Structure 1
Amino acid sequence: MEKFTTHTGIAVPLRRSNVDTDQIIPAVYLKRISRTGFEDALFAGWRSDPDFVLNQDAYREGSILVAGPDFGTGSSREHAVWALKDYGFRVVLAPKFADIFRGNAGKQGLVAGLVSQEDVTQLWKILEAEPGTRVTVSLEERSVTCGTFRCQFQIDDYVRWTLMEGLDDIAMTLRHEAGIAAHEAARPSFKPRTLPAKHLPKEEVRPARPVADPGVPGVR
């Protein structure tokens, strides 16, 4: 996961509240079997409207989304975060997030910063008056700077640390790789073990008793 300390980019004003995961990425796109390439699915139900904010040239390259309260409600699908990241968003600012969405965001490297409704409203006014305005988000200082306007945002201390260190769950586990290896090496052989991925046993594993093969009649 890429480290995040400070990001400067075009901010997009999304004057909508209660944006749920179905609106972020419609369920029809969940049939895909990959976890990348969802940029076309982001807000797909709204992007058919030529007046939708992401269809305006000034906001097409946006990387900071400023939304209304209760962003990310609905299902627990990680696809909502994937779609935002695939489009190019690094930060979402809102007065309130669904807890599961906020958790998914932190694990995928997307900053979900809590900003007061007053500050969100002020940002909307600035961004709509001057489309394409660049905003700086500092995770180190927990601050949002837009020209002369500056405000603070809230984020969980642990999530902030993992984002700044660029650590997802797997990377966190691998920090203890030496200790895990030492523990496994000292584990008695008679105790159960988890086989490594794609492990092939040295010897053929035979069943304790013959079992009929339904695909080949008469073969046991």
Structure 2
Amino acid sequence: MLAVAIVGHAAAALLYAVLLPDTSVRRAVYFGSKLVINALPVVWVFAIERRRMRFLRPSANAIVSGVCTGLVIGGAILLFYHSAIAGRLDATGLRARVGAYGMLDHFFLFAAFICVANSGMEEYYWRWFVFAGLKREMDWPWAVVVSAAGFTLHHIVVLAAYFSGAGLIVLCNLGVFVGGCIWAAQYHRTGSIYATWASHLIADAAIMVVAYDLLIGPVVP
């Protein structure tokens, strides 16, 4: 099941970002695949393995830890963008492709979904299920690397579909991999998905600031 989980999102991304030509179908596959693939860990853990469900309350230390790493990661994203990319990247093609999905008309709704819901789903999927499962099969540092590689895989597909320039794609995905390693190690240390969710949410907020700047206009004139 872990092998399927590691490649599942990348396979779905190949469909909705590359292979399917029709925009309405792509949109349906994007949201449908998110629901189906993200439901698999719950079904596997509680219906197949029959583990007991436990809900842990977020601790202040975990949230503070997440906010701190999130601010560092988010700051690094904004620094990299404004020092190396802003004003140098032609986003015309990207704007047209994203606009076909209607995301420009509902940018803030989409940004809220990415920052809150999608980041939470990714933490539950990649850290709570994949990383925790890999830890039972190998030493935790290797589980960090393997889970981060799987986390990066579907981002490679999406970024390659929307951006040109191998150097930019490699750099962005290197950042994704480092982020995946940080969050897996943080989950190992804190045992709290709330810590990594808080961190991921802040990092995604920084990415949405970059997206707004690229697609709509400068955040600060």
TM surpasses 0.5: no
Structure exhibiting the larger radius of gyration computed from Cα positions: 1
Larger % of helix: which? 2
- Normalised by the length of structure 2, the TM-score is 0.29
- Normalised by the length of structure 1, the TM-score is 0.29
Greater RCO (CA < 8 Å, at least 6 residues apart)? 2
